[in-house]
Amino acid sequence: MLILEGGLTVLALIAMLVIGLVLLAVLVKVLLFLVIPGIMALVVWLITKDPFMTGVAFLAVALLTIIFKR
């Protein structure tokens, strides 16, 4: 097998690329999941200025998103 300058084989580079792509996909999925609860929490914050109610709204919307996911 071909050994590159860093001492990694082509197989190791391909494995790291696949792992990186999977991690990137998971990160994007998590960020998209947090958008709706974040917007709702922002609305509650703008209306009440209460950190506790903002947190409750975020957790409630996140829980409802998990329960009723499409």
Residue 1 lies in a domain: no
Q: Is residue 61 part of a domain?
A: yes
Q: Is 60 exposed, middle or buried (0-12, 13-18, 19+ CB in 10 A)?
A: middle
Rounded-to-integer distance, Cα 26 and Cα 8, Å: 26
Query: What are the structure tokens assigned to 59, written together?
Result: 């957790």
Please report whether residue 5 resides in a domain: no
Question: How do the pLDDT tens digits run along the chain, 70 residues long?
Answer: 555 566 667 788 889 999 999 999 999 999 988 999 999 999 999 999 999 999 999 999 999 999 998 6
> What's the total number of domains in the chain?
1
Q: For residue 58, give its domain range.
A: 10-67
Examine residue 19 and state whether it is found in any structural domain, yes or no: yes
- Phi and psi torsions of 46, nearest 5°: -65, -30
pTM over the 0.75 mark: no
Q: For residue 56, give the nearest of 39, 44, 47, 68 by alpha carbon.
A: 44
